[in-house]
Amino acid sequence: MSSTAKSSLGDRLAELRQRRNMTQEQLSERAALSVDVIRKLEQGRRKTARLSSINALAQALDTEPSYLVGQPTTFDVRDTTDDGLPSVLALRQAVSPVADLLSGDTDPEDPPTIADLRASLKSTETIRREGRMSEIGIILPQLIRDARAATHTYTGSDGAAANSVLAVAYQVAATTLTALGKEDAAFTAMERSLAAIRQSDDPNLETLAASTLSWVFTKQGRLADAEQVALARAEQIEPSFRSTPSELALWGVLLLRAATAAVRQERHEAVKDLLRMAKGAAESMGNDITVYATPFGPTNASVARVNFLVEMEKSDEAIQAARTVANLESLPPTWRARFHVDRALAYNDLGKDGASGNALLKAEEEAPEWLRYHATSRRLVEDLRERSSRSDTALLGLADRLGLVG
């Protein structure tokens, strides 16, 4: 495990601040944050920070938010498949194969059929929605290689269909790599996805790419870019009264992406406007649907509102809103888990450690493996564990399952 993974948020913050020859007061001024928050983080008296605060600190220190957060690197770093472990290196190699720098791909086997490629992609999207990260790390590199081989072999409509699968596979790689703090490789995957889209047969893939790229930019702390990408595409596809539910869903997802970037810039009025438009689209749909592994509809819009209230530090209101969310079971496991993490954060803000811990346990029930990779949840569990008694076996067990030893 790297030293970055072993150290705390406060350790990394202090180390980077000192390397930049900045005092805590200077960092406070540049990040527009209280010096008391910075001091408590560096002293370890506070383990967590708002994502808007992390983004502000990262920008002030000229680093990636993922460096400060310390993304968990639970993927195996080796390029191995013999022991069944997922490998970041294998995913990197699939996205940027050395053959691209030499004489091109060599495909010793016949590529799979288009039907087989689509079935593999559908299976991958299911695994992704359920948060089974290790399985994604194992099967995604092969899916990318298979789709690349198909694009090199097939022409005409089959070639376009193969490029459609490849474009989406690259975007799954981008989101996976970003979640693991590998933003450089994620951006490469997005560039390759956009190249495949230009040769594909699916007109909605440009919208999907804008949504994914906005999310990647948000995770990088490039919040203005994230908002711009999402809003520009949303304006291009703005729906009419004739729009299908899928078209409304794609538009709504873009609005929520833009709102996520806006809330982390503390542009709360913009967030309210975007959420109002997204809610209107969701209500006109009537129920949630899933487009390209992403749900949208009344339930997801309600869940997003809870998330934004937590980000805006309106914890009481967030808890009240969470109690009114209906039909939560219609969302995929990872969305349900994220909802419970938001509840946990709100309860933590209100000093209700027991309720916060229970919400985290509920998130683990929904998507146990996803939770092990989710940096915010890991930090919150650490914080709660330090304040808990040794008799709180449920919380201590959760910390142990997340690998938070010590």
Domain check: are 304 and 186 in the same one?
Answer: no
- SS3 category, 294: strand
Residue 385 lies in a domain: yes
Same domain membership, residue 61 and residue 80 = no
382 shares its domain with 344: yes
Asked if residue 274 and residue 197 are part of one domain, the reply reads no
Single pTM value for the model: 0.81
Do 307 and 342 belong together in one domain?
no
Report yes or no on 207 lying in a domain.
no
Judgement on whether residues 50 and 118 belong to the same structural domain of the protein? no
Residues 138 and 236 in one domain: no
Residue 65 shares a structural domain with residue 81: no
**pLDDT of res. 59:** 85
Same domain? 84 vs 178: yes
Domain span including residue 136? 72-202
Q: What is the pLDDT of residue 136?
A: 83
pLDDT (0 to 100) of residue 4: 44
Q: What gap in Å lies between CA 213 and CA 190, rounded to an integer?
A: 7
Task: Give the model's pLDDT for residue 63.
Answer: 83
What is the predicted pLDDT for the residue at 54?
80
Provide the CATH number for the domain around residue 28: 1.10.260.40
Least Cα distance to 249 among 259, 258, 239, 241 occurs for 239
In a domain, residue 232? The reply is yes
The CATH number assigned to the domain holding 300 equals 1.25.40
DSSP string, 320-378: HHHHT---GGGS-HHHHHHHHHHHHHHHHHTT-HHHHHHHHHHHHHH-HHHHHH-HHHH
> Please, are residues 73 and 176 in contact by the beta-carbon 8 Å criterion?
no
**Domain-embedded: residue 66:** yes
Long-range contacts of 322-326 (CB under 8 A, 24+ apart): 322/346, 325/299, 326/298, 326/299, 326/302
Same domain, 24 and 95: no
What is the rounded CA–CA span in Å between residue 150 and residue 199? 13
pLDDT one digit per residue (tens) for the chain, 406 residues: 344 445 778 888 999 999 999 999 999 999 988 999 899 889 888 776 766 688 789 889 988 776 786 655 445 444 444 444 456 788 888 899 887 766 655 554 678 899 989 999 998 888 888 888 878 887 888 899 899 999 999 999 999 999 999 999 999 999 988 888 788 889 999 999 999 999 999 999 999 999 999 999 998 889 999 999 999 999 999 999 889 999 999 999 999 999 999 999 999 999 999 999 999 999 999 999 999 889 999 999 999 999 999 999 999 999 999 999 999 999 999 999 999 999 999 999 999 999 999 999 999 999 999 998 888 999 899 989 988 887 789 999 999 998 886 5
Note the pLDDT of residue 284.
94
Residue 159 lies in a domain: yes
Quote the pLDDT of residue 404: 84
Task: Decide which of 331, 361, 392 is a domain's last residue.
Answer: 331
Helices and strands per DSSP (H, E), number in the chain: 22, 2
Give whole-number Cα distances, 115 to 111, 120, 150, 151, in Å: 11, 9, 11, 14
Last residue of a domain, one of 296, 331, 366: 331
- The total number of structural domains that make up the chain: 4
Q: Is residue 378 part of a domain?
A: yes
pLDDT at 261: 97
**180 in any annotated domain:** yes
Please answer whether residues 131 and 176 qualify as being in contact, where contact means their C-beta atoms are separated by less than 8 angstroms: no
> In the prediction, which pLDDT does 166 show?
97
Evaluate whether residue 4 is within a structural domain.
Answer: yes
| Shared domain check, 142 and 81 | yes
Q: Are residues 279 and 363 in the same domain?
A: no
Q: Which of 331, 366, 396 is the last residue of a domain?
A: 331
β-partners of residue 294 are: 291
